[in-house]
A and B are shown apart, each in its own frame.
Chain A
Amino acid sequence: QKEVEQDPGPLSVPEGAIVSLNCTYSNSAFQYFMWYRQYSRKGPELLMYTYSSGNKEDGRFTAQVDKSSKYISLFIRDSQPSDSATYLCAMSAGGDSNYQLIWGAGTKLIIKP
């Protein structure tokens, strides 16, 4: 079993829909959680960064962490065709010896006009 599981999709939704992207993980020590967006053949770019549990909102994007369920989510409101990309989750435990980022496989998102 992988440490971080992420459905590769593709997930296809109509423009304007609310999108929910998710990752599950097995290591209860993870406390730093990130979402990256990667357009085709481009370098990943950081979208959201959260520490521990709770929600964080930035414009149309909301990141949610549920440490009790070992589950993180990224919500995209009013989705646009320009949101079509692969979304990767990444997480780490932090500290001097557990700081390596563990990556999900990425979910390919397609927003249909």
Chain B
Amino acid sequence: DSGVTQTPKHLITATGQRVTLRCSPRSGDLSVYWYQQSLDQGLQFLIQYYNGEERAKGNILERFSAQQFPDLHSELNLSSLELGDSALYFCASSVGLADTQYFGPGTRLTVL
């Protein structure tokens, strides 16, 4: 158990809908990262927050947004969902900006 929690574990929704994924980092970690992993694909970095501020952006679509709250938990919002958004979404956390990342168990999103 890495100490990073993600909810929900599974999410099934329809095209055009909006969903919110939640992540709680390890105690003491200030950085949160979001990744997308499609079936049999590598990890695609989406975005990083550090102590409430956005610090880095990867291949994140405009339909996706994220934020980190004062208690350091983070939410990833996915809107106008498309079939191709079906994937595993992982959250990771680290102490600082560049430290070892610890991953949560992921949220499996299925868009029908």
Contact = CB atoms under 8 A, between A and B. Distances in A.
Given A41-B108, A45-B2, A100-B56, A105 B42 contact: yes
Nearest to A99: B98
A43 B72 CA distance: 20
Nearest to A4: B42
Interface in B1-55: 2, 4, 41-43, 45, 48
Contact residues on A (Cβ < 8 Å of other chain), bracket: 20 to 34
A34 B100 contact: yes
A51 to B, nearest CB: 12
A99 B99 CA distance: 9
Interface in B50-84: 56
Nearest to A101: B101
Nearest to A34: B100
A41 B88 contact: yes
Contacts of A45: 2, 103
B95 interface: no
Interface string A5-44: 0000000000000000000000000001010100001111
B106 A42 contact: yes
A94 B90 contact: no
Nearest to A95: B98
Nearest to B104: A43
B85 to A, nearest CB: 17
Interface of B: 2, 4, 41-43, 45, 48, 56, 88, 90, 92, 97-98, 100-106, 108
